[in-house]
Amino acid sequence: MRRLATLAALPALFATAALAAEPVTPAPVVAAERAFAADGYRMGFKASFLKHSAPEAIVIQPEPVNAHESLAKAPDGKPDDPKLEWWPVFAAIAKSGDLGFTTGPYAVAGKRRGHYFTVWKKLLNGEWKWLFDGGTPSDASGASGPGGPVGFLKVADVPPMDPAQALAEVFAVEDALATVALTDLKAGFLTVYACDGRMQGSALPPAETCEAAEVEMATRPASARLKTLGGEASQAGDLVWTYGVMDWSGIGGETKGHYVRVWQRRADGWRIVFDELLVPPPPRSN
């Protein structure tokens, strides 16, 4: 009986070994982004964005709103509309393989306009849908072209954590960051920023090093008020995306923007591996 039980367990053991041998990479997230981009070029903005977004997906216009509700009000595209194109150059995925992001240049009518950022989630049916999509005017002139190599963020090497606990921990870290940001935004931010991450928001190219991140942070206010509005954690509790509001006082008066971040849990704690600051352009003067 013992031998029969051992033999019966062998298929499961082999399956477990095979799964353990397969490394988790952001390749599925990159494939989802490229399929989204191909549909965007073929189907147009509205149809493709509706097709590839999750029901709870958000966009910032200029406040966070449900993407489907916003897109439903948008006009249908026409064949002669300027073509929107984008392609990934950097991507990440959770250890559980269910949450990730990509970022890269976007172009309108063949002219590069900035860098996009998309947060992706794998649904129970195996489909990938985006949870957030938005871009900044960050300089894309030096980025590689469509079909070029995509850099991968190293997958977290930490034990699993309950997603609710992971989200609570990140919210607590964001609250601590918000407290420091009231007097020194840059110092507080760089304390939790990962040097192998990405940061964008200004007209500069996206920051890919800590030195570049310091330059990017210099384009932001010295102090600001931050408030987390929402987010979600991966099933492994190693990757969390958040979004929130950031407002500050300056020479021109009050300014309000929104941030979107991705946090990765590492041996030394939670670290920001992507940050995007979205600030509405000033109103045009008549």
pLDDT tens, position by position, 141-182:
999 999 899 999 999 999 999 999 999 999 999 999 999 999
pLDDT band with cut points at 50, 70 and 90 for residue 132: very high
The answer to whether position 51 is within a domain reads: yes
The answer to whether position 14 is within a domain reads: no
* Percentage of the chain exceeding pLDDT 90: 81
**In terms of residues, how long is the chain?**
286
Q: What is the pLDDT of residue 76?
A: 84
Q: What is the average pLDDT score of the chain?
A: 91
Is residue 28 within 8 A of residue 97, CB to CB? The reply is yes
Same domain for 92 and 193, yes or no, is no
Instruction: Report the range of poorest mean pLDDT among 50-59, 72-81, 183-192, 271-280.
Output: 72-81
Q: Please say which residue of 128, 152, 176 terminates a domain.
A: 152
Same domain for 245 and 208, yes or no, is yes
Same domain for 134 and 39, yes or no, is yes
Q: What is the pLDDT of residue 81?
A: 85
The answer to whether position 7 is within a domain reads: no
Same domain for 174 and 258, yes or no, is yes
Same domain for 187 and 247, yes or no, is yes
> Which candidate, 39, 155, 44, 142, places its Cα nearest to that of 96?
155
Angle subtended by helix axes 163-181 and 185-192, to nearest 10? 150
Q: What is the pLDDT of residue 191?
A: 95
Q: Please say which residue of 98, 127, 152 terminates a domain.
A: 152
> Which candidate, 94, 166, 170, 98, places its Cα nearest to that of 127?
98
Q: What's the average model confidence in pLDDT over 222-241?
A: 98
Full domain range(s) for residue 241: 163-278
3-state secondary structure of 279: coil
Same domain for 136 and 194, yes or no, is no
Same domain for 132 and 79, yes or no, is yes
Same domain for 144 and 198, yes or no, is no
Q: How many domains does the chain have?
A: 2
3-state secondary structure of 220: coil
CATH number at residue 265: 3.10.450.50
* Global pTM value: 0.90
Q: Please say which residue of 122, 152, 182 terminates a domain.
A: 152
Instruction: Report the range of poorest mean pLDDT among 63-67, 126-130, 263-267, 280-284.
Output: 280-284
